[in-house]
Amino acid sequence: MISRRPLAARATLRLAAVMALAVTLLSLGAMALQYRLVEARLMQAQRALLSADLDGFAALYDQRRIIALRQAIDYRAAAATGGEMLLLLDRNGTVLAGTRGGWPEGLQAEGDSFAVEPARAFSEAGTRWLAVARDLPGGFPLLVARSLQPVDDTLAAMRRGMLALLAAMLVAGGVVGWLAARSVMGRIGRLNDLADRVAEGALDARLPGPRSPDEFGLLETHVHGMLDRIQNLNRATHRLSDTIAHELRTPLNRMLLKLSRIEGQEDLAADLRAEMRQAIRMFDSLLDISRAEADQGSGGGLVPVDLSAVAGEVWELYEPLAEDKGLDAQALIAPGLRVLGDRNLIAQLLSNLLDNAIKYCAKGDLLTLTVAEAGDSILMRVADTGPGLPADMRGAAFERFVRADRDRGIKGHGLGLALVRAIAARHGARLTLPEGNTGFTLEILWPRLQQSD
């Protein structure tokens, strides 16, 4: 699965881009070095040819001076192919022999020997030349030069090849990098999806298919092992709490029966019975939460339910209680909204929310129940203008036995919202606590029952 995050936020794409850029820069450096080496070798070859020409002319000059040199240049000029430049002048600047009619403009004669150094490069009519210009004893200027056109042609062809290769490397690097990033993002996306499902409460979620024998496969195996361990610990914890609740609930009921047979000290017996009933209700709530969590995701036992009708019936029970406490109560329930659910659990969820709102609100506060369409979902909102949740409790509002210190004097065990969350999860509904509102607001998005369900 490919992530839908912006491209700039994908670490794998950034890594692929950096690697492609690094490879491209290294390739550019290698190509530049290769270019300079080829250029040096070609120039060295031209210098070697120029040196051979000078050595030959030097040997002739040693034998018969200018006469032999003139004859040799005449002979070479007759067979010249355009790749060499030869010229011998007399002391008055008259051409004695050569491939051209005059001395190149701006080129100065240096020294009177036949050594190849110093040699100078100059351009004429768009062609570069490597030249040795000397002023031989007696005032006879000598020019021996080699065309650098073969060198320039070879280097130009090399540059064109390098540019084509660089373009191909950029395209291939981009395609390979994109494919690599897509593969990596897909495998990371699988793990992120798994983490999201586990975070939503599906501890039994696992990645489908076999594990590959690479680092990602090993990571998936470790993640599965960790989830198996967490799931086993969670089951053991739930079994323990369920067992404690069952084991304590029964003797409490027996003690409650025995208290009814005691005569005298009626006030003390009544207090004991009230305490025991509260303890029994707490254990009942714990067992309800465990049952709802155990059935989460199974879908078993859920039938089409008219959510609007259930909400209306529960509201009719609690509206008088709200009015008795002096609350301004209103219900906005759209008719005929249906979900796939358990009617009793939905009623229990809504009862908990309304009971909490009435319990914590004061006279004059506003209590509103809303049930309305929200696209493919159904929105249920319970909102009041009471004291709301302390800011530091929002993250743990749905945990068991969590209560604000200021509410310790109000009857309750901190299990109401935990049961609401378990029932909502049982129905695949999503809970949210909108921020920025005064009082307490809880929204539940129920999956709407489709006609085909």
| Structure confidence at residue 372 (pLDDT) | 95
* Alpha-carbon span 54 to 72, nearest angstrom: 12
Can you give the residue ranges of every domain in the chain? 8-153, 215-295, 303-447
Confidence of residue 155 (pLDDT cuts 50, 70, 90): very high
List CB contacts of 113: < 8 A, sequence separation 6 or more. Answer: 134
pLDDT of 200 strictly over 60: yes
Confidence of residue 96 (pLDDT cuts 50, 70, 90): very high
Distance of CA 434 to the CA centre of its chain: 28
pLDDT of 70 strictly over 80: yes
| Structure confidence at residue 2 (pLDDT) | 41
Confidence of residue 370 (pLDDT cuts 50, 70, 90): very high
For the domain 8-153, what is the CATH code? 3.30.450
* Alpha-carbon span 221 to 344, nearest angstrom: 40
| Structure confidence at residue 12 (pLDDT) | 67
Q: Of 302 and 316, which is predicted with more confidence?
A: 316
If you search the block for the tokens 């650098």, which residue do you land on? 148
Second CATH level (architecture) for the domain 215-295: Orthogonal Bundle (1.10)
Q: Which CATH number fits domain 303-447: 3.30.565.10, 3.30.1050.10, 3.30.10.20, 3.20.20.100?
A: 3.30.565.10
pLDDT of 350 strictly over 80: yes
pLDDT of 50 strictly over 50: yes
* Alpha-carbon span 380 to 166, nearest angstrom: 61
Global pTM value: 0.51
Distance of CA 167 to the CA centre of its chain: 28
| Sign of the CA dihedral running 388, 394, 397, 402 | negative
Confidence of residue 3 (pLDDT cuts 50, 70, 90): very low
Q: Render pLDDT for 161-195 as a digit per residue (tens, 0 to 9).
A: 999 998 898 888 888 878 887 888 888 888 899 99
Q: Of 303 and 400, which is predicted with more confidence?
A: 303
Highest mean pLDDT: which of 221-235, 258-272, 324-338? 324-338
